[in-house]
Structure 1
Amino acid sequence: MSTVTNTTSTQSAQQTTNSSAATQQFGEEFTNFIKLLTAQVQNQDPLSPMDSTQFVDQLATFSSLEQQVQTNSSLGSISSLIGDLHTMFASEWLGETVTIESSWVPYSGTEIRYLTNAPESADSAYLTVRNSDGELIWSEQLDTEDSVHTWNGQTNTGESITEDELFEFSIDYYSGSEYISLGAPQLITTITEVGSENGTLRFGTSSHLSADLYSVTKYRDEG
């Protein structure tokens, strides 16, 4: 089920409330300070007046605190605005097909589709799949001309694998006999949930992988 988790708005509302309370508290403390300062001036010994620099230092301290409270209040407003934008932005991502780069892939019994994102100089690629214990369970040579590759849970021994288990995918790229690099697949999946974590938009997907906004790319099936 597609859902939007508006945790940012809740956090922003709490921050705004806290900032307002802090502002009110500061105002009350400043009023009390002025009353105390006035009483000190009125009751000081005319022959031994208080050092005026003390008053200046105290006023400077309160001025600094006031600026901090106002800054926190402004940040709370900005955070609230960002939360609202995240909520609006989230609805545009729900149901979108995207790619996520990940070496660890959950297998739930359905075919896994992925892109290789091979280097331009690569003319061959080899996939290896290992279980969570590091044991090799599948290997194959990939056709670099294919845009989309799949893995349906097959193993080298023909044995069935356990569903809801994590598998490590790695792809070795070669140019002729020269080794180029090691890569991870770009998994093709669908966004099913959108939320916010510490002010960052995060997605839940049909492949049981989660990622932030900057780790996903919208995918269009050219086939």
Structure 2
Amino acid sequence: MSTVTSATAAQSTTQAASSAATQQFGEEFNNFIQLLTAQVKNQDPLAPMDSTQFVEQLATFSSLEQQVNTNSSLGSIASLIGDLHTMFASEWLGETVTVESSWVPYSGSEVQYLTNTPTDADHAYLTVRDPEGEIVWTEELDLESAVHTWNGQTNSGEAASTDTVFEFNIDFYRGTEYIGLGAPQIITTITDVASEDGVLRFGTSSHLTADLYSVSKYDAS
């Protein structure tokens, strides 16, 4: 994924396209003026242009003018959106955030995560599965702890394979009553930002990707 420069490049492309479209409309606008002027100047004084036809041509003139103005306004809006994306990119780079995901890439570093625990839950159990769906680790989580970790330990005693994506599921209970299933909120750092189809996408140190609305800033204090 590209860095902040991708947002700037996308902005430049949008501005260039908008400028070209505006130039095209401007040429059509000038051609229309010249044609209408020549038509009025050279009409037969004894048989002038029909008033209805003249009004229709003026309406066309007005419509074309509105198209030119609209195109110019859209170009300004596109430029503003590009500026906002660049500003947001600079603001988010390097920030520590949480990303909710059941699928967690493991690179050999400790995975830190939060749990979105239901208020009435008093027990929670983590289950980690490998890409084949086999359970490699289970443990009961301490709900008094704010941050939980998994360092790649497995039930077999061997370390988990690196560069592998594992599935994390958290089951919540109230006593012996099952409440529901949750996904961990992975603590990670924003490493790069790009704009895709007008939406900001983040790359992270945990190799997870997410859009602007899927991340939350994390304050360890």
TM-score tier, shorter chain, comes to 0.7 to 0.9
8 Å contact 1:106–1:208 — kept in the other structure? yes
The aligned counterpart of 1:68 is: 67
Does the residue aligned with 2:181 lie in a helix, a strand or coil? strand
Deviations 1:4-55 (A, max 9, x none): 4232332222322332332232222222223333444555667776544344
CA RMSD of aligned residues (A): 2.4
Shift in Å, 1:216:
1.3
Paired amino acid for 2:143: T
Shift in Å, 1:164:
1.2
Deviations 1:101-139 (A, max 9, x none): 111100111110101120111100111111222222222
The aligned counterpart of 2:33 is: 34
Moved more, 24-33 or 171-180: 24-33
Aligned residues: percent identity? 71
Paired amino acid for 2:75: G
The aligned counterpart of 1:59 is: 58
Moved more, 88-97 or 182-191: 88-97
CA separation in 2, counterparts of 1:21 and 1:156? 63
Deviations 1:115-173 (A, max 9, x none): 11201111001111112222222221111111111111122223443211111111111
After superposition, where does 1:135-214 map in structure 2 within 5 Å?
Answer: 135-214=134-213
Aligned residues: 220
8 Å contact 1:129–1:169 — kept in the other structure? yes
Change beyond 3 A, Cα 1:105–1:30: same
8 Å contact 1:188–1:219 — kept in the other structure? yes
Residue 20 of structure 1 pairs with residue 24 of structure 2:
no
TM-score by length of 2: 0.86
8 Å contact 2:19–2:75 — kept in the other structure? no
Residue 109 of structure 1 pairs with residue 112 of structure 2:
no
8 Å contact 2:126–2:140 — kept in the other structure? yes
CA separation in 2, counterparts of 1:47 and 1:128? 93
Change beyond 3 A, Cα 1:25–1:146: same
Shift in Å, 1:88:
3.0
8 Å contact 1:7–1:197 — kept in the other structure? no
Change beyond 3 A, Cα 1:156–1:17: same
Does the residue aligned with 1:192 lie in a helix, a strand or coil? strand
After superposition, where does 1:1-12 map in structure 2 within 5 Å?
Answer: 4-12=3-11
The aligned counterpart of 1:80 is: 79
Paired amino acid for 2:119: E
CA separation in 1, counterparts of 2:143 and 2:160? 27
CA separation in 2, counterparts of 1:65 and 1:134? 61
Paired amino acid for 2:183: A
